[in-house]
Amino acid sequence: MPEILSLTPTHFPDYELIDSGQFMKLERFGRYITIRPEPQAVWDPEQHMKEWEAQAHVKFIPRSSSSGDWRKLKNMPDQWQIEYPLGQSGQVIRFRLGLTSFKHVGIFPEQGVNWDYIKESISQLKTEKPKFLNLFAYTGGASLAARAAGADTTHLDSIRQVVNWANENMQLSELDNIRWLVEDALKYVKREVKRGNKYNGIILDPPAFGHGPTGEKWKLEDNLNEMMKNVLELLDPKEHFLILNAYSLGFSSMILENLVRTKADPSTLQIGELYLKDKFQKRLPLGAFVRYRHT
């Protein structure tokens, strides 16, 4: 049986989940406090909304299920920066945050757990120049962690503006030479399998729904099995590690385990949930994961 874990970042001074509930969350990113929708927060918050708004700098007001507007409650910039310390290494990676029309600000804080795992896993590899692939890569936290650890890093996302944003984060983090790709992830991994290319580390965090740069459709339950068959073919047989995340209601870590179990090293296989804990000790679940190392 795999080890079952519930994981949350333990050293992220620039982030705090203050309170959560009524399908909302109150968060601090650096100096600024936001109020954003959160579909998993079905319980009641500890504080009243008036207390939230007294603390917050900005609140997201949805216009539809996928977009909305920010209402500023206090003076703050539209863009600002935060940093994340990678494990105990003394290294930091930096992010430019911003108020987007999709309620996101440019970072998923719970992913700090994976950035530390990537840094640690790469440090244990014997391969002189390990290769790392980040699929559905967003603004690049995993790519920055891999590059900071010395890996030859490929970052792939289907949205050019998001890839450009990740490039900004690379420069802020004083890193270089990440390979940027604006591509459909499934098409890319199929081509890489045909080319015979291999990677020592792969992370993928696919959305429930999405589109490739030329209109390709992605639906998690329809496409993930095919995706994982190809991803497993891309792993270097001598040594590798893999992280698969899924933030989708109804997708459990056992589903993810079944997708990788034929190749996974059972002694290192871990499954579970990522979460964030608010100041009142409520745990907000933010996705299932499976991960393992083969060395």
Quick: pLDDT tens for 228-248. Answer: 999 999 999 999 999 999 987
Instruction: Please give the CATH topology (third level) of the domain spanning 102-294.
Output: Rossmann fold (3.40.50)
In this predicted structure, the answer to whether residue 1 has a pLDDT above a threshold of 80 is: no
User: What is the rounded average pLDDT of the residues 76-83?
Assistant: 98
Neighbouring CB atoms inside 10 A of 194's CB total 10
- Place 269 in a pLDDT band, splitting at 50, 70 and 90: very high
CATH architecture group of domain 7-79? Sandwich (2.60)
User: What is the rounded average pLDDT of the residues 68-95?
Assistant: 95
Secondary structure element (H or E) that encloses residue 219, with its range: strand 217-219
- Place 249 in a pLDDT band, splitting at 50, 70 and 90: low
- Place 66 in a pLDDT band, splitting at 50, 70 and 90: confident
In this predicted structure, the answer to whether residue 266 has a pLDDT above a threshold of 80 is: yes
| Tokens describing residue 10 | 């333990």
| In the chain, where the domains are located | 7-79, 102-294
User: 15: number of CA atoms within 13 Å, CB side?
Assistant: 25
Closest to 27 (Cα-Cα) out of 42, 12, 6: 12
User: What is the rounded average pLDDT of the residues 59-65?
Assistant: 92
User: What is the rounded average pLDDT of the residues 125-146?
Assistant: 97
Rounded Cα distance between 236 and 228, Å, is 15
Rounded Cα distance between 141 and 167, Å, is 11
Decide: residue 242, CB within 10 A, 0-12 exposed, 13-18 middle, 19+ buried. Answer: buried
In this predicted structure, the answer to whether residue 84 has a pLDDT above a threshold of 70 is: yes
| Tokens describing residue 24 | 């909302």
